[in-house]
Amino acid sequence: MNTGRLRICAGLGLGLAVVCTPPVALAGSITVSPGESIQAAVDAASAKDTIYVLPGTYHEPALTGPAVHVTKALKLIAKISTAEREAGAKAIIEAMPGQTDGVLAEGPDASNPILGFQIKGFTIQGFPNNGIFLRYVDGFKIEGNESINNLENGIWPTLSANGLVKRNVAYGSEDSSLWVEASENVRVLNNEFYGSPTGLEVTVSNNVFMKGNDVHDNTVGVGFYHPNAASLPPLATMADWTFKGNHVYNNNMPNNAPPGTMSAALPAGGGVLVMGTDYGTFDKNVIQNNDFYGVAVIDYCTAVAGGDFDCTANPPIVDEYPDVNKFRGNTMTGNGTNPDPSHPLADYAADITYIMFDAGHYNCFAKNNEYDTREYVVGIGYPPSWNGQTCK
């Protein structure tokens, strides 16, 4: 583990003493090699330092909790050359017995977040909870990582703000590959999510922008879920969820979530599920070959009726109905052709499934393509705006 620090000194003329400036908060760096500990480097680093990790497989010594626990503003960067990457080299953080999460970055509380955190280029695998877990972080970048078989969530920023999740690959979780929860001002760009009950999930958040993501071979590709599905209470504002220019396809994986969880109740074959959430904008996405539905817009209580989480046992903590969601210019083909016939809503399988028991909710559809399965399934209750109608 090599450290490098900068110190500024100036000679004041021949024969004069060398004068050094007082210490300043200049960023330093630490390099970690195979056989050394990433956690030891984190502990030795100062805020705003960069920790470079060379290719290899890292087994951290923690007996419980996260393998790597970050409580200060740092950059964790896997330092892999192009030639090494082309040869298959990786910087792998692999679970050891007793460890729960791969990398946890967290501040003390909402009033004292970490002010800046970046993790880039790692493969994190085999943890029973989460691969990359952020809590109370303001200003984060999660970029170019691979999450493999981390069983709760692959990547989970919660109670955080002003973040970027970009060019990651996450798969093999039993809840979500990516879950953005109780967070604000988050961009989710050009990721690949597959092999989980939900590929990309958003709950109780504000101002989340999602573009260029490849979401496939999950049980449900994209889940915008009612606050009852979250582990935290609602925010004062939960709006401005923009889902634009993404590809959502072949999300027909049998559900492998643990029995008794809300995730376990999700039927296979879902493209984009809008379950009781408001103010979503869905523009120019390609949604195809999802067996049950391409897009489903449904109130929370209908979605969970008859299960362990239904509204009799679990009353909605905010309005259960989806409101003011807009679907414009999407291409939806080949959806709704093979739903589970035992599901009570199987008759409503289609490119668009719209089910509401209440009138007066402005959800609209405009300039979407002509469908090649069934056009609108209006379902029960107040219909959405028709495809040619203005939807501003």
* Residue ranges covered by each domain of the chain: 208-392
Backbone angles phi, psi at 85, to 5 degrees: -65, -40
pLDDT digits (tens, 9 = 90+) for 227-283: 998 888 899 999 999 999 999 999 999 999 999 888 999 999 999 999 999 999 999
- Nearest 5 degrees, angle CA 175-CA 178-CA 183? 110
DSSP structure class, residue 271: E
DSSP state letters, 172-209:
--SSEEEEEES-EEEEEES-EEESSSEEEEEES-EEEE
Higher pLDDT pick, 18 / 292:
292
pTM: 0.90
Q: What is the share, in percent, of the chain residues with pLDDT greater than 90?
A: 74
Tell me what the pLDDT averaged over the chain comes to. 88
- Whether 67 and 42 have beta carbons less than 8 Å apart is answered as no
- Given the DSSP bridges, would you call strands 18-20 and 9-11 parallel, antiparallel or unpaired? antiparallel
